[in-house]
Amino acid sequence: MSINKKTIEDIDVKNKKVLVRCDFNVPQDDDGNITDDKRIVESLKTIKYLIDNNAKIILCSHLGRPKGEFNEKYSLKPIAKRLSELLNIKVKMATDVIGENAKKLVSELNDGEVMLLENVRFHKEEEENDLIFAKELANFAEIYVNDAFGTAHRAHASTAGVANYLPAVAGYLIEKEIDILGGVLDNPQRPFVAILGGKKVSDKIGVIENLINKADSIIIGGGMAYTFFKAQGFEIGKSICEEDRLELAKELLEKANSKNVKILLPVDIVCTNEISENGNAITVEANNIPADFIGVDIGEKTIEVFAHELEKAKTIMWNGPMGVFEIDKFAKGTNAIARVLANLDAITIIGGGDSASAIEKCGLADKMTHISTGGGASLEYIEGKVLPGIECLNNK
């Protein structure tokens, strides 16, 4: 599916002041060093296009959760530094968002130059989608480009509100994400297998419901699986379970069955007495988890069953880890699935978030067709929800 919104190629950006909302919300270590610059790298295509077209480029983004006030820890200074290195030009860093310094830098900006505003979430008005704040941002520019796919599911001032005041178009990253995710959902090469993991069923109900209408099989691993086990009357010990979703889990299984969509649940489980590096790890049949134990990963047999299903697929979409992958000894299932995907010829789409970090950690990122820059945004998109940061853009 191609995006039905105008993109930067549909508007004349030459010599114009362009406000670009990027997603520079990157992980950092305790000293503020950027530990993964994928989101910055993914923003370069749009920025370079604007530089090549002699636009005056005003970038903005959020970083972390500074709760509406200035906090040096969440400053975008390290981003400006990294961007300068990647673009090989000096990116001017403002010391505020809509204050005197930002205004001065914007007024001094020459054609082809790039500047970065401070963290938009230093103002509580950002997340409130306050229109006065949005207008202040809009006043800096003649055109608004949204390229922050990772925040496109949020209706905030810089992701949506600002589009009320300026011609608003999509950047290359948003265009690419929608082309790929939309293409797979609308017209997948079959068999299309979806893999869902992670903790909460409640977060992924809409996703499962939508995928039942699109996928040929759905593999369910991670903490979500236990709610489905309990719904079928299995003993799940102390494993994570959403008691108020048991009925729903049953309904989803029935719905999938009636639509001939195969749902694959783990057949064996690695469980532990304690979720920590010190916890033990034993493998049991999925319907036989000891009362005092917590299921934390899929077992070897399950890996084989899942791999067998995946080997038949032409398209695979993966969202959510197969276990508590942050702890090495419970990461085997997640890592094994990553390796299976890496060795297949199929189209492999990773929905960002934890599955993306697991793949990066295994060094397999370049073996995937696409790793989304937006965990939450891609889930909401797969669920069929409208993303406000895209909805607000001008139609083609």
CB of 325 to ligand AMP, least distance (A): 6
Of 130, 283, 298, 156, the C-alpha closest to 220 is 298
Strand partners, 74: none
Distance CA 44, CA 59 (A): 11
φ, ψ at 28 (rounded to 5°): -130, 155
**Annotation marks residue 353 as catalytic:** yes
**383 touching ligand AMP, by CB under 6 A:** no
Among the options 161, 198, 353, 375, which is catalytic? Answer: 353
Closest residue by beta carbon to ligand AMP: 198
Contacts 24+ apart (CB under 8 A), 200-204: 200/224, 200/242, 201/227, 201/228, 201/242, 201/245, 201/248, 201/249, 202/242, 202/245, 203/379, 204/319, 204/320, 204/379
Query: What is the closest distance, in whole angstroms, from the C-beta atom of residue 299 to ligand AMP in the complex?
Result: 12
Residue 226 three-state SS:
helix
Q: Does residue 299 interact with ligand AMP by CB under 6 A?
A: no
Write out the two tokens for 195: 């893999």
User: Which of 17, 21, 39, 154 is the catalytic position?
Assistant: 39
Tokens describing residue 10: 């549909």
Q: Which of 3, 324, 336, 359 binds ligand AMP (CB under 6 A)?
A: 324
Residues 181-200 touching ligand AMP, rule: CB under 6 A, are: 198-200
Tell me if 223 contacts ligand AMP by CB under 6 A.
yes
Cβ closer to ligand AMP: 53 or 319?
319
- Active-site annotation holds for 197: no
Residue 376 appears among annotated catalytic residues:
yes
Q: x/- site string to ligand AMP, residues 4 to 33, per CB under 6 A?
A: ------------------------------
Q: Which is nearer to ligand AMP, 3 or 236 (CB)?
A: 236
Q: Which stretch binds ligand AMP (CB under 6 A): 50-58, 144-152, 174-182, 323-331?
A: 323-331
Q: Which is nearer to ligand AMP, 222 or 374 (CB)?
A: 222
Amino acid (one-letter) located at 46: T
Q: Which lies closer to ligand AMP via its Cβ, residue 353 or residue 389?
A: 353
Rounded to a whole number of angstroms, the minimum distance from the CB of residue 37 to ligand AMP is 22
Q: In which order are the strands placed within the sheet that holds 192-196?
A: 262-264, 217-220, 192-196, 315-319, 347-350, 370-371
Footprint (CB under 6 A) of ligand AMP, residues 343-362: 354
Cα gap 285→290, rounded to integer Å: 10
Q: Measured on CA atoms in the order 84, 87, 88, 92, is the torsion positive or negative?
A: negative
HSE, side-chain direction, 13 A CA sphere, residue 63: 26
Q: Which residues bind ligand AMP (CB under 6 A)?
A: 198-200, 203, 222-223, 240, 295-296, 320-321, 323-326, 354
Catalytic residues: 39, 200, 353, 376
